């Protein structure tokens, strides 16, 4: 679980915007995470049904087909995935989305535009043994 050991923690990144996804993927891989990318809400739900649970989920709020909040509810209703930490990615100023996400089982949120260092530190917090 610790990114410093040989085992690479897996992040399921759900982000539809290609440029942002590319940036996030680079930052996460650089921080020694293995990244699985879902491009929309539908693909994310398919991965929840087929994939073994990742170590952490980075979930955008605004997604095609199913919103991030709908995907969040779907994940929390899946017994194998219900305890996986979920960090929401949301636009600055969308307090309503943040509140709803936290009430519905998200563990943390990161505002867009994001600070690259803050992003990796926040994720690392959930993967450390003390988390």
Partner 1 sequence: MLVLHDSDLTLRLGSLAILCIYSAVILLLSGILLLRFIRLAKERRRRNVTAIWRPLLAQCVVEVPETLPQLKPRDHLVFLYLWNHCYESIRGDARAQLNELARRTKSDQFAKQLLHARRLRRRLLAIVTLGHLQERSIWNELVAMLRADNAFLSLVAAKALLTIDAQAAVPLLIPVISRRADWSPLKVVAMFSAVGADIAADTIAKAACQASPEIGSRLIRHLAATQSQQGLPPLRALLREDSPSDDILAACLFLFGECSDPRDAATVRAHLSHPTWYVRLQAALALGKMGVEEDEPLLITLLDDEHWWVRHRAAEALSNLPWMTAERMTRLCGSLATIESQEHLLPFIAQSNVRKAGSVPTASPRLQTS
**Which residues lie near partner 1 (CB under 8 A)?**
18-20, 22-23, 25-27, 30, 93, 112-118
Token pair, residue 70, equals 């709908």
Nearer to partner 1, 48 or 88 (CB): 88
Longest CA–CA separation in the chain, Å: 39
Q: What is d(CA 4, CA 127) in angstroms, rounded to the nearest whole number?
A: 11
Cβ closest to partner 1, residue 8 vs residue 30: 30
In the block, tokens 């509140």 appear at 99
d(CA 123, CA 59): 12
Q: State the minimum distance, in angstroms, from the CB of residue 116 to partner 1.
A: 5
Structure tokens at 29: 């891989």
> Shortest Cβ distance from residue 113 to partner 1 (Å)?
5
Cβ distance to partner 1 smaller for residue 4 or 19:
19
CB of 46 to partner 1, least distance (A): 25
Nearer CB in complex with partner 1: 18/79: 18
State the nearest-atom distance from the C-beta of 36 to partner 1, in Å: 18
* CB half-sphere exposure, 77, CA atoms < 13 A: 8
């Amino acid at each position: 679980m610790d990114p410093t050991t040989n085992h690479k923690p897996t992040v399921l990144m759900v982000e539809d915007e290609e440029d942002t996804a590319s940036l996030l993927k680079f930052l996460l891989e650089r921080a020694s995470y293995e990244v699985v990318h879902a491009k929309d809400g539908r693909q994310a739900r398919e991965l929840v049904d087929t994939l073994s649970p990742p170590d952490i989920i980075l979930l955008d709020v605004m997604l095609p087909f199913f919103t991030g909040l709908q995907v969040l509810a779907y994940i929390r209703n899946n017994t194998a995935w219900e305890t996986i930490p979920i960090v929401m990615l949301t636009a600055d100023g969308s307090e309503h989305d943040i509140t709803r996400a936290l009430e519905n089982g998200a563990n943390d949120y990161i505002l867009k535009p994001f600070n690259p260092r803050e992003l990796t530190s926040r994720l690392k917090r959930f993967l450390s043994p003390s988390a």
